[in-house]
Structure 1
């Protein structure tokens, strides 16, 4: 917290009291001791008391600068700009505090100094003129973000200072240097609501302040309280200016002979901007369709369960096989050419063609369970507009008898169906269940296999447990038992274990192409995949396979300009919600494909991987400048904005080296990128100009000092020679 203190009495210059920003001292002994200490500064030999008056327009940073020197107070940039505390009186910043008094003492060029800082109004000149009395040096401030404050230096302040203290040395100070490289948008948000917004065109270059200082014949310095830059330079050189002026009037003070004229200030090199952080959305790949919804809406279904009460349930092999070992073995059995464990069904056991046609009809109105049939009929009518299936021929010889294989199953065969939208045929596995498998509890079991969840309020849990026992879904049976025993909290661990096993089986099916129902034809090969899993993980895939498109019924999808490695990485992500990256994969190819099929989370993950790889290579001494330039505009084209921002930052912070090696590549970039390079390059152009000017002026001053030293040495030699001759 900054503290400011007002003179208690103009007649007593050594007593100060708190003006309300800090605690008042109630100890008269303390005030007396400090007052005595102050008087001793005037009486102590070889200790020079300097009165420094700080003037300038309102809100240019005078009080912040004084507090940074007197109280060592530092604030963040946004705290500095959020609130402006105007000065109420011509005040001395020192209070009855030993710490502040100790900071007022300094040694400059081997001269002990007691510095007295005075803050003033930007207006109310009647109150301000009292501060000029008996001043030793005046620090004239302006803000580099306010051109009017610099104009007032010439039109008002220089004339006022010349009027009230014509012989007092003056130093010009440009405050708020940090605004020259700050994020002005964030700065304006942090300022007061009614404050004038700072524009980039308002920021003054260093040469503007230096020109005004040259016109007035005074030194020029720049400061930043936020960066703690230039504060000591300003006040040390203000002390030097005051001591030199005092040396001319009090030439008998020998300890002032070593005081130098105000020194040059080295330019401020702004810090490098930190690299942008790649932000990953909290959630993984968004689930477009819940697996349970996919069970109710049989898009891309490849399994049809026919129950004894002539009800039917469409399902998907990949969900059932990865969730249940029973179904995994069942569907693998279908792929065997000559199964040994089952026998062919006799013709008497086979259902008639009319019965199957009636069972697979989309408009069935038979009602053993009216509510269930209405629900099923509604779902199928929905599928009519998307992926309607109509039964065609049924080959009775291909029916596999399952009654001897496991309880609950009667038979399985392949049925050829027709998509009414594209008139293309597709194959569906029809599985007939026996009378022990009832519609509602069996639907609950299938929903568990899809989602891994069980509703505690589900009716008929005992029947569900019986079917789970028959189908060897032991996780579900344990969950029903926990609910019955009022220990449903234990089901969370069962669900976690279920999903882990299912994820591992999905990875296996992807690697071995088991139960795949679609093949992606790519530039350098093909990859088998599973439509249901893709539809639940990607909106683009859901629209392609579930909408009125040719791809919805095709088993082969051609994706031009896509490599096999990139497609494999995308499929791994869609199946496992994780990015598996190998050295063969190109991040830009994955970003292009992920952007193409609308996967922003995958784009962010790939951006993060690319940035980590580039950073690691750069730390290890590998030159990545050419690769960064290649990434830049391709990342912008494919909406990888975070990677593009990192590339821009890398080029800007290494602009000199990059430009020296790849000048043609820099010039070939878009106009927007080149403009960004110029405005954000490091070191900035203004610093390079200031550094050149500083080195040039430094050499000139060194020459002047050497010439002056030689002149004085020569005069001294001549004086001694003449004295020796006179003595002889």
Structure 2
């Protein structure tokens, strides 16, 4: 059976291939292994640079000494190690075996360089990958037949024998698909949105409690969590008569032209406007809030086009627009737009000031705000009844239900309410992104612009938090240029960060 397997046909020539291995370390007896050899296959390991070095210094000179006329084929073995996971290979080897290092793997150019220097063919094989084994034996037979044809040139059956052929390149195995791990969405107890309440970065709303306590918040979080706040911030504040405006604390009633000039002055700090000659009347209709004393105010005559009034009152800039909300909701008393000082940058910016009802206490109201930002309610809250009262005023019925569950020792049911809260807010956030509602920053892209919301970006991306909260130009501007970016790509990124 072994003899039958040794027979082969190469280039229409029938041959019988007999293999004879060397004796290894038996230097004295190894010379007998070369006797009557037709071809010598000289092998080395591509994972052992020393074996390739010994090819030139030891094995090839020895072969030429004992077999001066026998052709030699250089073969690089263990080709699969070039593309294998060496850590897994080393773990599978014997405990005392020397580990294979990545820098010891020889590239094919090294073997070809040595083969070219010796003037012999070069092949690579891998028994594990079943590559190149037949190529080595077929071309070794061809080399032996070519050598015999030089001596027996009259034999016609040797005329069609080809020289050793070039080996087809090895196709590395298809790498396993990369393991793509999509990070889980932020958990319900994510601290970042709640942290915006403690560190009011990019705040655009001031909630005033009991006429003296100010809480800074963000339109996008309040409006996407509460329908009442959504309607409040979309309310048209321009339709306000002079009487209600004065009732909200305006010190000066100005004409539309004067207001436009005040806007221009805010954009150009340090520029003084010339005042035209004007006659002023005392307006007796304005009363100080909370007292019965009448407070006179300056009113420009219709002949005056520009008026520079007192724009600073109680240390803040004059109010811009306002509206009385006592008849609209029990939770709010008024809403106003004014130039207020940012609590972090100490720069003046246009903010919305909402005065809350006097019955709303600061502690429970902060718990309500935390729910509007995170969808969570702490079971250990003390003033649950006050929280339920505020939730009733703001029409946040899910929060009132969570309070009822805690009072009934059924707090475990609040998890489902929190999940529904996040699903509902995700849909509203997508709508605000699509319409640009409550946006405070615009990304200028190659093919257009997209409006976005700084608070949502800060709470969902470290890079955005550093850009808008750090000492960068983007933290104080409303437009951010992102070159080499399209609207479709940026919209996909924003939707991922938002949801």
TM value normalised by structure 1: 0.47
Q: Distance in 2 between matches of 1:344 and 1:335?
A: 14
Task: Report what 1:587 is aligned to.
Answer: none
The answer to whether the Cα contact below 8 Å between 1:442 and 1:467 also exists between their aligned partners in 2 is: yes
CA distance change for structure 1 residues 135 and 281 in 2, over 3 Å: closer, same or farther?
A: same
Q: Distance in 2 between matches of 1:194 and 1:527?
A: 54
The answer to whether the Cα contact below 8 Å between 1:301 and 1:314 also exists between their aligned partners in 2 is: yes
Task: Report what 1:266 is aligned to.
Answer: 166
Task: Report what 2:9 is aligned to.
Answer: 108
Give the Å deviation of 1:508: 2.3
Task: Report what 1:152 is aligned to.
Answer: 58
Task: Report what 1:301 is aligned to.
Answer: 203
CA distance change for structure 1 residues 538 and 578 in 2, over 3 Å: closer, same or farther?
A: closer
CA distance change for structure 1 residues 515 and 111 in 2, over 3 Å: closer, same or farther?
A: closer
CA distance change for structure 1 residues 266 and 419 in 2, over 3 Å: closer, same or farther?
A: closer
Q: Distance in 1 between matches of 2:445 and 2:158?
A: 82
Q: Distance in 1 between matches of 2:192 and 2:443?
A: 24
Q: Distance in 2 between matches of 1:343 and 1:523?
A: 44
CA distance change for structure 1 residues 105 and 503 in 2, over 3 Å: closer, same or farther?
A: same
The answer to whether the Cα contact below 8 Å between 1:142 and 1:153 also exists between their aligned partners in 2 is: no
Higher strand share: 2
The answer to whether the Cα contact below 8 Å between 1:289 and 1:535 also exists between their aligned partners in 2 is: no
Match of 2:316 among 377, 392, 408: 392
Q: Distance in 2 between matches of 1:525 and 1:237?
A: 64
Higher helix share: 1
DSSP 3-state at the match of 1:140: strand
1:332 matches 2:206:
no
Give the Å deviation of 1:315: 0.9
The answer to whether the Cα contact below 8 Å between 1:537 and 1:574 also exists between their aligned partners in 2 is: no
Task: Report what 1:31 is aligned to.
Answer: none
Aligned-CA RMSD value: 5.0
Aligned pairs for 1:464-475 within 5 A:
464-475=387-398
Give the Å deviation of 1:502: 1.6
> Which digits, 9 at most, give the CA deviation of each residue in 1:59-110, with x for residues without a partner?
xxxxxxxxxxxxxxxxxxxxxxxxxxxxxxxxxxxxxxxxxxxxx4544368
Aligned pairs for 1:186-335 within 5 A:
192-193=98-99, 197-198=103-104, 203-204=109-110, 206=112, 208-209=114-115, 212-213=118-119, 220=121, 222-225=123-126, 227-236=129-138, 238=140, 264-271=164-171, 282-283=182-183, 290-308=192-210, 310-335=212-237
TM value normalised by structure 2: 0.65
DSSP 3-state at the match of 2:420: helix
DSSP 3-state at the match of 2:25: coil
DSSP 3-state at the match of 2:486: helix
1:573 matches 2:493:
yes
1:406 matches 2:329:
yes
> Which digits, 9 at most, give the CA deviation of each residue in 1:314-336, with x for residues without a partner?
11111100111111011112546
> Which digits, 9 at most, give the CA deviation of each residue in 1:450-498, with x for residues without a partner?
1223333443444333322332222323334444555545444433332
The answer to whether the Cα contact below 8 Å between 1:527 and 1:568 also exists between their aligned partners in 2 is: no
Aligned pairs for 1:38-77 within 5 A:
none
Give the Å deviation of 1:231: 1.5
The answer to whether the Cα contact below 8 Å between 2:324 and 2:335 also exists between their aligned partners in 1 is: yes
DSSP 3-state at the match of 1:233: helix
CA distance change for structure 1 residues 202 and 576 in 2, over 3 Å: closer, same or farther?
A: closer
Task: Report what 1:428 is aligned to.
Answer: 351
Task: Report what 1:499 is aligned to.
Answer: 422
Give the Å deviation of 1:118: 4.2
* 317-326 vs 421-430, greater mean Cα deviation: 421-430
Q: Distance in 1 between matches of 2:28 and 2:54?
A: 22
Q: Distance in 2 between matches of 1:238 and 1:525?
A: 67
Task: Report what 2:458 is aligned to.
Answer: 535
Aligned pairs for 1:16-35 within 5 A:
none
Q: Distance in 2 between matches of 1:500 and 1:133?
A: 83
> Which digits, 9 at most, give the CA deviation of each residue in 1:534-562, with x for residues without a partner?
332444543454345676555x4364x74
Q: Distance in 1 between matches of 2:207 and 2:388?
A: 19
1:476 matches 2:399:
yes
The answer to whether the Cα contact below 8 Å between 2:457 and 2:497 also exists between their aligned partners in 1 is: no
Q: Distance in 2 between matches of 1:234 and 1:450?
A: 71
1:512 matches 2:412:
no
Give the Å deviation of 1:208: 4.4
Aligned pairs for 1:555-566 within 5 A:
556-557=478-479, 559=481, 562=483, 566=486
Task: Report what 2:43 is aligned to.
Answer: 141
The answer to whether the Cα contact below 8 Å between 1:221 and 1:265 also exists between their aligned partners in 2 is: no
Q: Distance in 1 between matches of 2:205 and 2:17?
A: 91
